[in-house]
């Protein structure tokens, strides 16, 4: 039964048909599948499959990435309400678009993937001052600060990730958080993330989800 459900869900997601995806999920639950199984055996593998597809085809449709992430996030949120016990979240991320930048699509894709991968996400919105990234990360006890920038001057400017890194250094917090970045400028220059002081970057929203999850798990291993 599970293979049939996975196939139907994947087809719905591939077609970016949210109603069909939810229909598959609710039909599966009517047949006895638990909310936990829906998330861990259907939704998360679908996200991972999309990540693999992006690796094979980096030019895959951005709108499809967005809808895949959004569907996964919405299904996960609905299923979490039905879990027999509250799930253990992997970690927490504060995410926003750098000061001076009003683009939000890439950030929203990352958020959708993270929610589906059981990461708590705090959305700071767009045009976020560097100080707020650090203040919110402290207040929310996050592990990751994620800064999105879709323009070169917001990616490399003094009010973006570079200033976030400086604040972390000034406050002695560099061991407390990991700083990750994403957006078009980083795709054009794969080494740019290092020059702005980030610990990692991803070429697209779906890959960013996996990178951040791996980074959180690595931090937890280091803390043991």
Total structural domains within the chain: 2
| pLDDT given for residue 13 in this prediction | 85
Task: Return d(Cα 38, Cα 147) in angstroms, integer.
Answer: 31
Task: Return d(Cα 104, Cα 117) in angstroms, integer.
Answer: 20
Q: Do 60 and 133 lie in a common domain?
A: no
| Average pLDDT of the residues of the chain | 89
pLDDT tens digits, residue range 37-51?
A: 998 889 888 887 776
Tell me, yes or no, whether 86 lies in a domain: no
- Whole-Å CA distances, 1 to 30, 61, 83: 12, 30, 21
Q: Do 57 and 117 lie in a common domain?
A: no
Task: Return d(Cα 164, Cα 182) in angstroms, integer.
Answer: 14
pLDDT tens digits, residue range 81-110?
A: 888 887 788 999 999 999 999 988 788 888
Tell me, yes or no, whether 212 lies in a domain: yes
Are 16 and 64 contacting, i.e. CB atoms less than 8 angstroms apart?
Answer: yes
End-to-end Cα distance, the chain = 39
The CATH number that applies at residue 52 is 1.10.1240.10
Residue-range definition of the domain harbouring residue 57: 2-80
Tell me, yes or no, whether 129 lies in a domain: yes
Q: Do 142 and 218 lie in a common domain?
A: yes
Report residue 55's pLDDT band, with 50, 70 and 90 as the boundaries.
low
The CATH number that applies at residue 179 is 3.40.50.280
Q: Do 33 and 115 lie in a common domain?
A: no
Phi, psi at 148, each rounded to 5°: -100, 140
Q: Do 167 and 214 lie in a common domain?
A: yes
Find, among 106, 137, 135, 132, the residue nearest to 121 by Cα: 137
| pLDDT given for residue 61 in this prediction | 59
pLDDT tens digits, residue range 4-36?
A: 999 999 889 888 899 999 999 999 999 999 998
């Amino acid at each position: 039964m599970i293979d049939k459900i996975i196939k139907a869900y994947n087809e719905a997601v591939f077609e970016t048909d949210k109603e069909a995806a939810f229909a598959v999920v609710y039909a599966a639950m009517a047949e006895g599948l638990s909310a936990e199984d829906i998330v861990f055996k259907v939704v998360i593998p679908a996200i991972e499959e999309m990540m693999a597809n992006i690796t094979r085809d980096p030019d895959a449709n951005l709108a499809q990435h967005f809808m895949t992430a959004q569907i996964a996030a919405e299904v996960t949120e609905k299923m979490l309400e039905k879990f027999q016990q509250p799930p253990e979240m992997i970690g927490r991320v504060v995410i926003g678009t750098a000061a001076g930048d009003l683009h939000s699509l890439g950030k929203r894709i990352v958020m959708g993937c993270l929610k589906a991968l059981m990461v708590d996400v705090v959305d700071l919105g767009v045009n976020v001052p560097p100080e707020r990234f650090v203040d919110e990360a402290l207040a929310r006890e996050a592990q990751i600060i994620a800064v999105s920038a879709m323009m070169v001057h917001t990616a490399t400017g003094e009010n973006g990730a570079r200033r976030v890194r400086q604040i972390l250094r000034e406050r002695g917090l560099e061991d407390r958080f990991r700083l990750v970045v994403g957006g078009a400028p980083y795709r054009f220059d794969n080494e740019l993330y290092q020059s702005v002081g980030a610990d990692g970057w991803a070429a697209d929203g779906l890959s960013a989800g996996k990178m951040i999850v791996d980074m959180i798990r690595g931090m937890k291993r280091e803390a043991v």
